[in-house]
Amino acid sequence: MALLTGVADALSTERRPAPEPPTAPPAKRVPLAAGLALAVTLAGAVAATAGLRLTLLFVVGLALGVALFNSRFGFTSAWRQLVAVGQGRALQAHMLMLAAACLLFAPLLAAGTGFRGVEIEGSLSPVGTSLLVGAFLFGIGMQIGGSCASGTLFAIGSGQTAIVLTLAGFIAGSVLGAWHLPFWTTQMPTGPEVSFADTPLGYPGAVLISLTLMALVVGATVVVGRRRQPPALDRPPVARGVARVIRGSWPIWVGAMVLAGLNALTLWLSGGAWGVTSAFALWGSKALDAVGVDVASWGYWQNPGNAEKLAGPVLADRTSVMNVGIMVGALIASAAAGAFTLHRRIPGKLAAGAVIGGILMGYGARLAYGCNIGAYFGGIASFSLHGWVWGAVAILGTVVGLRARPLFGLGNPKPTDSAC
């Protein structure tokens, strides 16, 4: 609990005085009405197709989209700021989010059952070659593609049309990764799943280990920040008074706590932690299947659980339903904040970076058993060693990705910058 309090205090204040953020513009009523109508329509479609549980998960997806947008909670920018200029505030928010998630996940995982008796399992994956290669490629891809998995979804919802290209690349890379995955898991060296809960102290010990590691990460960011004197982060336009709850922007520590709670709610409702990228492999594979490609014969789709998803409707897939909810939730939040804007002109270099970055992330996510959400967030919250390894290797990929960004017309933060 001391970690939660200390990090929240650190995140609620800036070392350097920051100017007051501008006032949020008026809501954009047409996109807002469209988003609300779409949310109601899709909720009805999910209810008719898959029942109450997935309808509730769609609502959780909507809430995730609102939280991601209103807090501008970034994964890609957090690693970029840390590596480029030593700004660790966003990574400290990650640790707060992960600490809260661990405290919420532990009793749920220990109980083993959730909503209507669903069996609860954590996100545990082995540490091996595929994890190392996949996380490294993902780290590169998210820097040249301009977003991570969750960021891709909420950016599309808020009108950033360039990120649609990132999503297209994400889907293509995910399909390619699904096709190649048996090679990486059977022909390349791999190790066992390692859970911090598999000790004599069980989940209390796992929480203690996890919070200790998070405290070390926070301490490291403080040391780096003192040495490099990073700039403050920009503060987006903010609504005043009670309207801020709906129209944003939220303090980053609020976003961290809300995301942790929503991930725990996802675990309780569905039996598994929040994930994103498995849906991209499903969408792309269904498209190939529709044009006659025998994707069902691939080893990835021979797994009984995956085969059931491939054979069923998209709205019966938990991850797909939540992904759509995130995009719609971000649409609603950005329109309410007056920030929804369609970006129509996309420079060629930026478009190329978006597609290539998406492909690297999609392929890497399949190899690494998930993305910044399924592997990093869900893995660490589930007390799996692979989540920590994923995060460390993704930072190494970030270093390479930052060097590649100028090739695609993208800049990097400088010590005199204040933008995130």
Tell me the C-alpha distance between 354 and 171, whole Å.
12
The answer to which of 14-23, 139-148, 342-351 has the lowest mean pLDDT is 14-23
Q: Can you state the angle between helices 162-186 and 149-157, rounded to 10 degrees?
A: 160
Residue 64's Cβ-count burial label (10 Å; 0-12, 13-18, 19+) is buried
pLDDT for the residue 6: 55
Q: Is residue 293 within 8 Å of residue 265, measured between CB atoms?
A: no
pLDDT for res 15: 45
pLDDT band at 187 (very low <50, low <70, confident <90, very high): very high
Split at pLDDT 50, 70, 90, the class of 24 is: confident
Q: Which of 1-5, 8-12, 165-169 has the lowest mean pLDDT?
A: 8-12
Q: What is the number of other CB atoms lying within 10 angstroms of the CB of residue 45?
A: 16
pLDDT tens for each residue of 197-229: 999 999 999 999 999 999 999 999 999 999 888
Residue 118 burial (C-beta neighbours within 10 Å; 0-12, 13-18, 19+): middle
Q: Which of 109-123, 166-180, 238-252, 348-362 bottoms out in mean pLDDT, i.e. has the lowest?
A: 238-252
Instruction: Judge contact between 336 and 247, C-beta under 8 A.
Output: yes
CA distance 157 to 198: 40
Share of residues in the chain with pLDDT > 70 (%): 94
- The candidate with the shortest Cα–Cα distance to 400, out of 136, 79, 140, is 140
Mean pLDDT, all residues of the chain = 92
Token look-up 């509730």 returns 56
The token pair at 300 is 């990835």
Question: Maximum distance among all alpha carbons in the chain?
Answer: 60
Res. 118: pLDDT tops 70: yes
SS3 (DSSP) at 23: strand
pTM of the model: 0.93
Q: Looking at this protein, which amino acid is placed at residue 251?
A: P
Residue 417 confidence (pLDDT) above 90: no
Name the packing angle between helices 149-157 and 318-336 (round to 10°): 50
Distance CA 167, CA 326 (A): 14
If you count them, how many residues does the chain have? 420
19 burial (CB, 10 Å; 0-12 / 13-18 / 19+) is: exposed
Location of structure tokens 């490629």 = 137
Amino acid at 403: R
What is the rounded distance in angstroms from the CA atom of residue 131 to the CA atom of residue 294? Answer: 27
What is the 8-class DSSP label of residue 118?
P
Distance CA 218, CA 164 (A): 34
Q: Render pLDDT for 51-109 as a digit per residue (tens, 0 to 9).
A: 999 999 999 999 999 999 999 998 999 999 999 999 999 999 999 999 999 999 999 99
Asked if residue 297 has a cis previous peptide bond (ω within 30° of 0), the answer is no
